[in-house]
């Protein structure tokens, strides 16, 4: 009952953090990767003898070499044992020559392809990412409203879906704010396609925790049959589920943090975004979703009176 008793404090904390994150994102902006602002894509395959001990160049080696000669925004993704996609900002002919010369210092290779990604494609990706987030939010509202249709007192079933989406927006906003803050200290952190995939994954993981709590509320409401106040039922449901939520999220966070620290550079953004999202998602399922549900029930009762 501690969370429910002090619900206004926790709701205020979430509100302040959300406003601060929005202000940070809108005023400073997020560092956009070449997936969104355009750039160049170079595909190369290194020629390495089968008996070489240096089989399979690491992406980190190529990124380090290119950053050392001035390519500040570069993303290297392995395609095969010795093949790589190298994404950079738009290159002039001289910069392209410098890139190839730098790659040659790591060994003999063949340039398989070179293409440019225009900013129009970047805008298309932004629009599709936004549409994907909106579709997911609407689908969640409809799904939860349908599942909780048998629980309509004292809170309508659609409000469960509404609260779930509010918590999801809270998680996405705080994740974006934390990501933007992190980009101030790490030059290789930028918004790319993996960032969008990570946000969509965060939506799924976050709503899972919230639905677990809501499901306990639904079961306890059926057993309670109106004997105890709604807030007591919610408090009991929280006490039965928060340990599971924290333990599950903590075990996942450990894996993500390790992956962000020692994993390949190509998955660093994905791991960091998921780690932020898991943390905020666990917080919101305990300290935001249930208190907000109780607040809505109190307002519904006061309006009837």
Domain that holds residue 63: 39-117
Question: Is 138 in the same domain as 222?
Answer: yes
Same-domain check for residues 184 and 65: no
Q: At what angle do helices 7-28 and 157-183 cross, to 10 degrees?
A: 50
pLDDT (0 to 100) of residue 280: 92
Q: Are residues 63 and 178 part of one domain?
A: no
Does residue 194 share a domain with residue 55?
no
pLDDT at 298: 79
User: For 38, phi and psi rounded to 5 degrees?
Assistant: 95, 165
The pLDDT score that the predictor gives to residue 55 is 47
19 plus 91 within the same structural domain:
no
- What pLDDT was estimated at residue 212? 85
Q: What is the DSSP string of the chain?
A: -HHHHTHHHHHHHHHHHHHHHHHHHHHH---B-HHHH-EEEEEEEE---TT-TT-S--HHHHHHHHHHTT--SEEEEE-SSSEEEEEES---HHHHHHHHHHHHTT--EEEEEEEEE-HHHHHHHHHHHHHHHHHHHHHHHHHHHHHTTT--SSS-HHHHHHHHHHHHHHHHHHHHHHHHHHHTT-TT--B-HHHHHHHHHHHHHHHHHHHHHHHHHHHHHHHHTTSS-HHHHHHHHHHHHHHHHHHHHHHHHHHHHHHHHHS-GGGHHHHHHHHHHHHHHHHHHHHTHHHHHHHHHHHHHHHH-
Pair (234, 142) in one structural domain: yes
Give the pLDDT of the chain (305 residues) as one tens digit per residue. 677 888 889 999 999 999 999 999 888 888 777 767 778 888 898 887 544 455 455 777 888 888 888 887 787 877 767 788 888 888 888 888 999 999 988 888 888 888 876 665 566 767 777 787 788 778 877 887 777 776 656 777 778 888 888 898 899 899 989 888 887 776 567 777 778 888 888 887 888 888 888 888 888 888 877 678 888 888 888 888 888 888 888 888 898 888 888 877 667 778 888 999 889 988 998 889 888 988 888 776 666 65
Co-location of 178 and 198 in the same domain = yes
Let me know whether 87 and 167 are in one domain. Answer: no
pTM of the model: 0.74
- Pair (203, 296) in one structural domain: yes
Backbone angles phi, psi at 105, to 5 degrees: -70, -15
Last residue of a domain, one of 117, 140, 175: 117
């Amino acid at each position: 009952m501690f969370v429910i008793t002090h619900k206004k404090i926790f709701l205020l904390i979430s509100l302040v953090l959300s406003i601060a994150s929005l202000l940070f994102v809108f005023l400073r902006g997020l560092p956009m990767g070449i997936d969104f602002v355009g750039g160049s894509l170079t595909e190369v395959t290194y020629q390495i003898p089968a008996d070489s001990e240096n089989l399979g160049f690491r992406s980190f080696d190529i990124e380090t070499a290119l950053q050392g000669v001035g390519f500040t925004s570069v993303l290297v993704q392995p395609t095969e044992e010795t093949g790589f996609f190298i994404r950079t900002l738009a290159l002039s002919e001289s910069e392209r020559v410098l890139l190839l010369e730098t790659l040659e210092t790591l060994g003999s290779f063949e340039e398989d392809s070179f293409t440019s990604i225009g900013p129009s494609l970047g805008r298309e990706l932004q629009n599709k990412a936004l549409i994907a987030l909106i579709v997911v939010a609407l689908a969640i509202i409809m799904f939860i409203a349908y599942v909780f249709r048998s629980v309509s007192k004292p809170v309508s079933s659609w409000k469960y879906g509404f609260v779930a989406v509010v918590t999801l927006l809270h998680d996405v906003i705080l994740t974006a704010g934390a990501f933007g803050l992190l980009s101030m200290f790490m030059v290789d952190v930028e918004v790319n396609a993996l960032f969008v995939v990570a946000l969509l994954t965060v939506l799924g993981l976050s709503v899972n925790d919230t639905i677990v709590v809501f499901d306990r509320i639904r079961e306890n409401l059926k057993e309670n049959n109106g004997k105890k106040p709604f807030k007591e039922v919610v408090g009991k449901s929280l006490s039965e589920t928060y340990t599971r939520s924290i333990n599950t999220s903590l075990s996942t966070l450990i894996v993500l943090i390790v992956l962000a620290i020692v994993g390949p550079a190509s998955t660093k953004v994905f791991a960091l975004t998921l780690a932020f999202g898991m943390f905020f998602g666990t917080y919101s399922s305990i300290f935001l979703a249930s208190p907000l549900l109780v607040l809505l029930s109190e307002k519904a009762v006061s309006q009837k009176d």
